[in-house]
Amino acid sequence: MPMTAPDYSLHFTPGHTFSYESGVTGTMATVGVGELSLPTGRVVACDPFVYLGSGDVEPFTAQVPPGRYRVEAAIATLARPGEPAAARPHTRVAAARLVIRDVPAVTWEIALQEGQDPAELGEDEFYGYGVDAGTGCFYDPSADGAFPGTEEEEGPVWAAMEAAGDGPMMFLAEGRDGHNLAAFTSGWGDGAYPTWVGRDAAGEITCFLTDFFVVPTEDARRA
């Protein structure tokens, strides 16, 4: 069967811990990125440095009321027990979510683009987006042309990234005509990552969440 979602509430539970077989442990924290404008109520997730402005990425079929919604990142601080604390902690963005409603998600479904069918997925397969520049993002499809210069390594997205500094970067980029974009480094870097739609008990969308596979899946399911 296709990949199933773990309990993502644990990713966003400050102080939650997990461990790797190597003995390295991780401790979770939640950091706000800012408010994302969704004038059409539709959501695109992709690597902005590769696909933004290309017109090649379709929005998800799940839609929400137009508005402004909070984006936050789940940050894992990694350490090896018994070793002295590093002057600069090793941190990774484990997941990013676009919060639509402040209620717990009780079910998760893979976020789909037009024409995608979960029934066609094989064992542990998923639909997701490719990352080739170590960064993921959320934005409204109407903002696709609002960030000129991105492919030429200039413009508002690059400026916002540079202003964010070192470490696990999270930033809002302001584009033309009031459009913006929320971006974040993608876990361990390049790869393919799924975005999930969380729903409450009434079936209403609570969030869109991209998992960057930093928290071991089996650990999240057991915890």
CB 212 within 8 A of CB 47: no
The 8 Å CB, 24+ separation contacts for 149-155 are: 150/48, 150/49, 150/52, 150/53, 151/52, 151/53, 151/54
Helix (H, G, I), strand (E, B) or coil at 219: helix
- Report whether pLDDT(222) > 50: no
The pLDDT, as a whole number, for residue 139 is 98
Residue 209 token pair:
């969440």
**Tens of pLDDT along 86-111?**
778 899 999 999 999 999 999 999 99
The pLDDT, as a whole number, for residue 41 is 98
CB 136 within 8 A of CB 194: no
CA-only gyration radius of the chain, Å? 17
* Percent of the chain residues past pLDDT 90, beyond the cut: 78
Of residues 138, 108, 112, 109, the one with CA closest to residue 127: 112
CB 35 within 8 A of CB 54: no
- Helix ranges (DSSP H) in 145-194: 156-164
pLDDT tier at 155 (50, 70, 90 boundaries)?
A: confident
Q: What are the phi and psi torsion angles at 7 (to 5°)? A: -85, 95
Which contiguous run of DSSP H or E holds residue 162?
helix 156-164
Distances (CA, A) of 14 to 28, 105, 126, 217: 5, 17, 27, 18
Residue 79 token pair:
């350490």
Q: How far apart are the first and last CA of the chain?
A: 22
The pLDDT, as a whole number, for residue 34 is 96
- Report whether pLDDT(150) > 90: no
**Tens of pLDDT along 112-130?**
999 999 999 999 999 999 9
**Tens of pLDDT along 174-207?**
999 999 999 999 999 999 999 999 999 999 999 9
What's the CA gap between 209 and 98, in Å, rounded?
6
What's the CA gap between 183 and 195, in Å, rounded?
14
The pLDDT, as a whole number, for residue 87 is 72
pLDDT tier at 218 (50, 70, 90 boundaries)?
A: low
pLDDT tier at 165 (50, 70, 90 boundaries)?
A: confident
pLDDT tier at 219 (50, 70, 90 boundaries)?
A: very low
- Report whether pLDDT(221) > 70: no
- Report whether pLDDT(5) > 90: yes
